[in-house]
Amino acid sequence: MPFRLDGRVAWVTGGARGIGAAVGVKLAEAGARVAVMDMDEDALASFRARMASENDGVFKTYRGNVCDEASVAEVVRAVTADLGPVDILINNAGIIRDRMFRNMTLEAWRTVLDVNLTAVFVCTRAVIEGMAERKFGRVINTASISALGNPGQANYSAAKSGVIGLTKTLALEYAPHGVTVNCVAPGATLTEMTRSLPMEAKKRFIEKIPLGRMAEPDEIAVTHLFLASEEARYVTGQVVFVDGGVSCGF
């Protein structure tokens, strides 16, 4: 069976719902023990309720804020004690605060940069040296099709482009230590994040998708599974656009 993760410990940030939850399930199905961290207690509770019947004992959930270094350190201590040291980090937590640039506040800029970019620095720093010492690690970051530019998302686009630069630099620094660092860049995906977008905006977006529809979270998570696997050991510093073809052509 390809892409097995037996014996591995994975930590998924923002993992209680949406793409993160789908990634957690995918990694667990492949044999990993999965630490699901989220700041939303209600989302964690529904995740636990859903998983109790399906995957009892495979998941542990942790409440924490990826932007807060102390909270991240506490979660990493608890995960290590409960499951063992982290082998696979999925930097998935993200938010949007969309406004055209002329109306964008500095607060909305900072908040989005903080959650989508600076938190990737904070969470990665909390585990990557341990991975390097053990000579195995997978860091999988989350960019977006919006990294290529999207009106109304100057903050988000800048953050996600930053994630791509961070991914490539970390890939170079940690390649000699057995740690690969890659990035998944989803296109429009059916989650809470996109649920609130106006129908007109969604229609316009879908018209630009060559495959003609938005993605299910599961269709994104399969790429995380590949990148986390032993088979992906020669893949590092890459950005995989899983976007129904939007990033092709001109």
Ligand X SMILES: NC(=O)c1ccc[n+]([C@@H]2O[C@H](COP(=O)([O-])OP(=O)(O)OC[C@H]3O[C@@H](n4cnc5c(N)ncnc54)[C@H](O)[C@@H]3O)[C@@H](O)[C@H]2O)c1
Beta carbon nearer to ligand X, 132 or 222: 222
The answer to whether 227 and 140 have CB atoms below 8 angstroms apart is: yes
Beta carbon nearer to ligand X, 5 or 120: 120
Q: Is 174 a catalytic residue?
A: no
What distance in Å separates the CA atoms of residue 135 and residue 115, rounded to the nearest whole number? 28
Tokens of 25: 């399930």
DSSP 25-72: HHHHHTT-EEEEEES-HHHHHHHHHHHHHHSTTTEEEEE--TT-HHHH
- Residue 199: CB minimum distance to ligand X, A: 15
Catalytic one of 62, 156, 174, 234:
156
List of residues 6+ apart from 240 with CB closer than 8 A: 182, 183, 184, 185, 223, 227
Tokens of 28: 């667990």
Greatest Cα-to-Cα distance within the chain, rounded to the nearest angstrom? 52
Q: How many CA within 13 A on the CB side of residue 152? A: 6
Give the DSSP H/E element, type plus range, for residue 9.
Answer: strand 9-13
- Residue 186: CB minimum distance to ligand X, A: 4
Binding site for ligand X (CB under 6 A): 13-14, 16-20, 38-40, 43, 65-67, 92-95, 115, 142, 144, 186, 188-189, 191-194
- Residue 105: CB minimum distance to ligand X, A: 18
Beta carbon nearer to ligand X, 17 or 33: 17
Beta carbon nearer to ligand X, 9 or 159: 159
- Residue 178: CB minimum distance to ligand X, A: 26
Kindly list the catalytic residues: 156
